[in-house]
A and B are shown apart, each in its own frame.
Chain A
Amino acid sequence: MAGIGFVLRKLSKRDDLSGLFQAYAYSALISTGPWMFTIISLGSISYLAGKFTTVETLSEFRRVIIYNFSFSLVFSAPVFMVVTRYLADAIYRKDVEGTPGLLIGGTALIIGTQLPLASAFYFFYAQISTGLALAAIVNFILISEIWLLSVFVTAIKDYKSVLLAFGTGMGFSALTSAFLVDLFDLIGILSAFSLGLCLTVALLVARVLAEYPYRFKEPFAFMGYFKKYWEVALSGVTYNSASWVDKWIMWQAPESDHSPTHLFLYPNYDSAMFLAYLSIVPSMAMFIMSVETNFFEAYLKFYRDIQHKASLSEIKENHENILLSILRSSRNFLVVQGAISLIFILMASKFFTAFGVNYMQISIYRFGVLGSFFQVMTLFINIILSYFDCRRAYMGLQGLFLLSNAAFTFISFSYGFKYYGVGYYLACVLTFVVSSLYMFHYIKRLPFHTFISTNASVG
């Protein structure tokens, strides 16, 4: 027959609209975990180790740990973000047999990339003893491995065993440091921390393998994802740099400790900020739950109904429900987080007295609380955007955060102590405003994006 016949048959198969996006959503969670881990373990180790050693040793220990947390997060981000994506796809396809291989491949890549970076840093840049450098490098790689493992354990969503793994590891650290600090001082305490991390890593690996009891195969199958999802890899670096860039800049401030090790810190700024971040912990937990229930239900219904031959008016109604659920969650969040932040600000002096914190930090801390209020709101938007797989936009928004945080911090830095922390705060506000405008603009046109701009079958 003349005429093109196979168009119809081809059409029938083109029904792959539905979101595998939901599987990606947890990648947004990944970005919050490390922060919590950093702050909590720093706090608890400082507290515990303080009982066995001198203030000087402890501050040198904190110095190495902060550098390790900060840079391992940034440098290993491309690996763990891409692994996240790969794992999410595998889970969505219900084809998780490659997970043990992925874990091995990811670990190999982490070691392969982080070892030279950390070595270069500690041997050539930092002015510290070879022994300490070696211990620091080991610790650096272990922390990187924790970032990677957090991808897998977040997917399992067994938070209890995660807590157990970290608790056991850190407890073991505390015990061993009591012995090692006497023998090797700073190196001892650092190695004790590393030993604890080793235990945590082992427990987490065991948990992952228990969940995915398959043979190791094709460990580097995920490498192709670097090309396909380069935006994801880049966003990982950008996001994590953005969260740290104000600290990096402030470490150069005249008030910083200018340590001869070249590993500068500005303890007043750092601990003020860390303390400020604590203000977002409670609402984050609540908030993730509200995303998981309200929003996710509306989201699923939107896509499922399309697949199940919904009419446009039904699709529009579902679309509205998505918007409503976002608005509702935002409102609740705003109220709760607003109240908490307010309490953190108003009670600042009480906290400072209670924890024995230097009063110098109080203004930085207040800007930190305000900034983290907006940062966590932005995080909410990021989670929503990741549900819709807006990779480019996500990358752009992270870029904006990085640049504005760097620029504003730099400016506030040049205005002197009174303005420290303002840069971070303003960057958070700006990123939040742009992100929310983008999100609402995007969601307003959700049907269009669903059917055309993000539909792989179109084009």
Chain B
Amino acid sequence: MTTDVCLVLEGTYPYVSGGVSSWTHDLIKEQPHLTFTLFCLVPPGFKTKMAYEVPGNVKEIVRVELQKLPKRLSKVGEKRKQKLMQDLIGPLLKLQTDPSLEDLEYLVTLLKEVGEIGREVLTDSPEAFDLLCQMYEKTLNTSSFLDYFWSWRSLLGGLFSVLVCPLPRSRCYHALCTGYAGLFLARASLESGRPCLLTEHGIYTNERRIEIGTAEWLDDRQSLNLNVDQRAVRKSLRDFWIESFIGYSKLAYQVAESSITLYEGNKELQIEDGADPQRLKVIPNGIDYEAYSRIPRKQGGRPTVGFLGRVVPIKDLKTLIRACSFLKAAVPEALVWIMGPTEEDEAYFEECKELVAHGGLEETVLFLGKVNIKEYLGKFDLLVLTSLSEAQPLVILEAGAVGVPSIATDVGSCSELLYGRPDEDPQLGPGGIVCPLASPSAIGEAMIKLLGEKELYEQCSRAIKARVDRYYRKELQNQAYRQMYDELLAMPDVDTLARVGARLPSEI
């Protein structure tokens, strides 16, 4: 069976709910004329439980547990194993420092030549242990061997599981992040000769960097070494991790016809990781403009500010509550509604309530709990978003479609949404105010300004509504993907290596 599109998913749809998952769910539903394969990478030992009802045009679901290579009863001789490992070491080392598709192809061929093998050869044999030791000696030979061991098993185990698993047959491959999914995309491109696409919501390597940077178990004896020169020269295990992921990303960028993100800001990070600027694209997420724009707006009444989102630390509600003290001083009758579930982090919720009481804001700040967004969008004048991290918050667009301007911190695409992309033509003007992170005074001033200056408020309201209407409609997003899929499906089979090779000069 050959499907039209193979979606390469890592740790998300259809098993885990969340932003990327519902995006994927919608994508499949909006392309009913295409058939899909879901290639799902899941953590080892993951209990499969569907979080979504998969649409009918999904014809195949392939599940691969990362790092958990199948145990096969392969009868590979000792000599053969030794030779395999000797052949593997070169390309594996290069994959971390200077990844190339040639090496990946060589790896895939090597693994295929041996026949059906699993972890009994690749990770659990004495020969594989020797390979691990040799790679250690050649790279991080003074770092903790135990940590290297686990890192190796995790990283290389992941690599092997992605390279030896069966390749579903599809007419094009679409990965929804880099990492192992991106690595698989590169393999699929090499093996099938079919075109590939990459969509990144968050930037994988960036998120990994944060995660690896805070992983205490990786603290090496070296990092305790205060001799700066030595530290700068010697590589650490953290580099091993990050460089591996950057390597996988680079390969994905090389094979993808286009690498898509949600907003301009991400491009820089992608280019840093080796993406070709020529083939980077921005397709923002869209909303159902028609439905939202019909929501009636409140007329008169107390000036009301709304916050829509979970009450959790990353949304930095404390900054909002502190800003409300400024607001109350200037606009005593103002109301602030905090709308969103509070049970995820009870302790944080308690702290927020204490802060409200402490500021004497009980009459101003109200926690409404989880609400029906569509019901409330017309009932407040201004949306405030104080998040410490966002990608492309849809709530700004949803409020914008109603005509509600926003105040947002300068994270993700917020500034793009409120001020327009650099190439916006004609320029529609600001749809709100962007503030620095964690600044109660800036947020407070912005609220006072927008609620106080009638004319500015109306301008922002019109601008954000027009911007959503023009650029952030769901139809536009769907159309863009439909068009892209059509192009990919029409492409002939290609020799990936030759194609990428021909493109290379432009990248340098």
Contact = CB atoms under 8 A, between A and B. Distances in A.
18 contacts: A1-B201, A2-B11, A2-B177, A2-B179, A3-B179, A8-B212, A12-B217, A14-B150, A15-B217, A309-B143, A310-B145, A311-B142, A312-B137, A312-B141, A313-B141, A451-B149, A452-B124, A458-B153
B270 interface: no
**Which of B144, B204, B215: most chain A CB closer than 10 A?**
B144
Interface string A389-430: 000000000000000000000000000000000000000000
Interface in A288-319: 306-307, 309-315
A4 B43 contact: yes
Given A2-B202, A309-B145, A310-B145, 5 more contacts: A2-B20, A5-B207, A7-B67, A306-B145, A306-B146
B211 A8 contact: yes
A310 B145 CA distance: 6
Given A312-B136, A451-B129, A458-B153, A2 B176 contact: yes
B30 to A, nearest CB: 19
Given A3-B177, A4-B11, A312 B207 contact: no
B154 interface: yes
Contacts of B220: 309
B354 interface: no
A124 interface: no
B463 to A, nearest CB: 31
Contacts of B208: 3
**Which of B41, B146, B216: most chain A CB closer than 10 A?**
B146
Interface in A103-158: none
A453 B128 CA distance: 12
B78 to A, nearest CB: 13
B9 to A, nearest CB: 7
Given A4-B11, A4-B43, A311 B211 contact: no
Interface residues of A, number: 31
Given A1-B202, A309-B144, A12 B149 contact: no
Interface in B165-194: 176-177, 179-181
A1 to B, nearest CB: 5
B221 interface: yes
A458 B20 CA distance: 31
Interface residues of B, number: 47
Interface of B: 9-12, 20, 41-43, 66-67, 123-124, 126, 129, 133, 136-137, 141-151, 153-154, 176-177, 179-181, 201-202, 204, 207-208, 211-212, 215-217, 220-221
A311 B143 contact: yes
B19 to A, nearest CB: 8
A241 to B, nearest CB: 34
A9 B179 CA distance: 17
Q: What 6 A-B pairs come out closest when comparing CB atoms?
A: A309-B144, A12-B217, A2-B177, A4-B11, A448-B129, A312-B145
Contacts of A448: 126, 129
A6 interface: yes
A307 B150 CA distance: 12
**Which of B136, B201, B211, B220: most chain A CB closer than 10 A?**
B211
A311 B141 contact: yes
Contacts of A452: 123-124, 129
